A and B are shown apart, each in its own frame.
Chain A
Amino acid sequence: MTKMPFDQNSVRADFPILEREIANKKLIYLDSTATAQKPNVVIDAMDEFYRHSNANIHRGVHTLAEEATAMYEKARGQVASLINAASAREVIFTRNTTESINLIAKTWGRENLASGDVIILTEMEHHSNLVPWQMLAEEQDLVLEFVPVTDDYLFDMDAYRKLLVLKPKLVAFTQMSNVLGTITPAKEIIKLAHEAGALTLVDGAQSVPHLPVDVQDLDADFLVFSAHKMVGPSGIGALYGKMDLLNAMPPFMGGGDMIKTVHLRSFVTNQVPYKFEAGTPAIAEAVGFGVAAEYLQNLGMDAVEAHEHSLAEYALERLAEIPSLTVFGPSAEHKGGVASFVMEGLHPHDIAQILDGEGIAVRAGHHCAQPLHEVCGVKATTRASFYIYNTKEEIDALVEGIYKVKEIFG
């Protein structure tokens, strides 16, 4: 991977939606944490698949089926390469991060956890890394423990060490908070978990699109992420798992493709990864996912991280100028390109709506992390998030827009 910064203008030119005008103003898209925009290469690859190669995958011998299968499997390799998986077969295509976590809970979890077993999560988790474990805890009488957020919005390492005494079976944590932007020390968290005898699940929904993530270097047992947050299409995501774990896990959904043989009263499961991919998958989306992974890898994840870091730094600096505005999250050095804030006397919906009138897309609400908002003592926040196509000028426009909000509500 290169450390050279990428050419901002040529990246922007890759994203056709950035040409759009909203309210007669040039779109400023600051909602990539919810979903990223898509470059031409991704859109074209999916278009080309449908126009030129569409067929169902596996078991077809005709040319199109061969092509479609090859493209689907090539995509698996591209995604595996982005996260440096030891084998492409360790990447399972799912619908999204949420489905990946549910898959682990309902296969590995059901098979390996029993009454009284402890799972460690954090207060920063997205609902998708909370609710599946709450459901499993209810079902199997498990104990959920939560690593708190420190006063400066970081992963509380001391509290974590104390929780590890409980001998958890699993530590499932976000590598980057979708609200605070906090980047957690994943490698250290995993090392300590392993020493305590626990497996680890890294929620990479925000980290994989924005940071270099190397599953072998991290020694992660599971890593889950979605294509749509990393310039790929919606409807497809990935579950990385270490091969020995995946091999030992029972299947998830039953149906075609996940079987080796089927009789009227029994079946034998297929090998990994097909064991977990029942039914016709999102083939065109997989193709788009693979191209998205390659696109990011070509930019260089180090460069992506550096670009966003400089935007986060600049945004924090500019937002700090605004009276009665509070940003939630750590200092820029521990933070990805996310700024969630509240303004005294103003509801996030009103802020977001007036910004929309300026062509600026931000998100308002609890961002699927309601418990974290409880910890922060607020109901909802307004969130501006930054990606490869955003610029400092756009952050200036955001700040101007916020002043307009203040003017309207006076």
Chain B
Amino acid sequence: MDDLYRQLIIERYKTPHYRGHLDPHDIFFEDDNPVCGDHIEVTLRVDDQNLVTEANFDGEGCSISQASADLLMETVHGMNLDEVKELTKDDVVELLGIDLGPVRLKCALLSLKVLKAGAYGLGVDEVSDDLVE
């Protein structure tokens, strides 16, 4: 349990580095976790090489969902959109550095789902959990 709340997660939850809505932005996507009502939006700025120059998230949720979103935004800075599309569940788990059960994994992966749906330019109806498998 104490692992689950390791210092990094509490810190990033309390003082996120990449919170806020980017305006203007090139990519925007938002989604909810239907189980707990958590909400995450991601805004990205992308240059003409398809490199992510800025990435922010906003929303409401538990420490796991918010900290993983913040760490994920940090990770995608400088990434090509194609690389963003390749990110997986394992990358997020590695970022957090903790083992998560199936319920909390959903919290941790919400931001990845939103980010990838944005990168792929999906419509709201096209988002599925397959994106983060």
Q: Which residues of A contact B23 (CB under 8 A)?
A: none
Which residues of A are found within 8 Å of B38, using beta-carbon distances? 379
Q: Which one, A244-252, A264-272, A303-311, A352-360, is touching chain B?
A: A352-360
Scoring A residues 367 to 386 as 1 if CB is less than 8 Å from chain B, else 0, what string do you get? 00010010000011000000
Contacts A354-B5, A357-B1, A408-B10 hold; do A379 and B37 have CB atoms under 8 A apart? yes
Residues of the A chain whose Cβ atoms lie less than 8 Å from the Cβ of B62: 347-350, 353
Question: How many B residues, CB 8 Å from partner?
Answer: 19
Question: What residues of A have a CB within 8 angstroms of the CB of B107 in the complex?
Answer: 349
> Any chain B CB within 8 A of the CB of A366?
yes
B36: CB under 8 A from chain A? yes
Contact present for B35 and A365 (CB under 8 Å): yes
**Are B4 and A353 closer than 8 Å at their CB atoms?**
yes
Q: Are the CB atoms of B37 and A349 closer together than 8 Å?
A: no
Residue B61 CB within 8 A of the other chain: yes
B37 A23 Cβ-Cβ under 8 A: no
Of chain B, the residue at the smallest CB distance from A347 is B62
Is the Cβ of B104 less than 8 Å from the Cβ of A409?
no
B60 within 8 Å of A (CB atoms): yes
Contact A365 B37 (CB under 8 A): yes
- From residue A225, how far is it (CB to closest CB) to chain B in Å? 24
- Tell me, in angstroms, the Cα distance from A350 to B64 when the chains sit together: 8
Across the interface, which residues of A come within 8 angstroms of B88, CB to CB? none
CA distance A350 to B62 in the complex (A): 6
> Interface 1/0s, chain B 61-78, versus A by CB < 8 A?
111110000000000000
Supposing A350-B63, A366-B36 touch, asked if A356 and B1 sit within 8 A by C-beta, the answer is: yes
Q: Are B10 and A366 in contact (CB under 8 A)?
A: no
Partner of A353 from the list B14, B35, B104 (CB cut-off 8 Å) is B104
A297 to B35, CA, bound (A): 35
Q: A347-B62, A349-B104 are in contact. Are A373 and B37 (CB under 8 A)?
A: yes
Query: Which residues of chain B are near A23, meaning CB under 8 Å?
Result: 1
Instruction: Report if A364 contacts B (CB, 8 A).
Output: yes
CB distance from B13 to the nearest CB of A (A): 8
Can you list 28 contacts pairing A with B, beta carbon distance less than 8 Å?
A: A347-B60, A347-B61, A347-B62, A348-B36, A348-B62, A349-B61, A349-B64, A349-B65, A349-B107, A350-B5, A350-B62, A353-B5, A354-B1, A356-B1, A357-B4, A364-B36, A365-B35, A365-B36, A365-B37, A366-B36, A366-B37, A379-B36, A379-B37, A379-B39, A380-B36, A380-B37, A408-B10, A409-B14
Seed contacts A353-B1, A409-B10; 12 additional CB < 8 Å A-B pairs: A347-B62, A348-B62, A349-B65, A353-B104, A357-B1, A357-B2, A357-B4, A365-B35, A366-B37, A370-B37, A379-B37, A408-B10
- Residue numbers of B with Cβ under 8 A of A are 1-2, 4-5, 10, 14, 35-39, 60-65, 104, 107
Taking Cβ atoms with an 8 Å cutoff, the residues of A that contact B are: 23, 347-350, 353-354, 356-357, 364-366, 370, 373, 379-380, 408-409
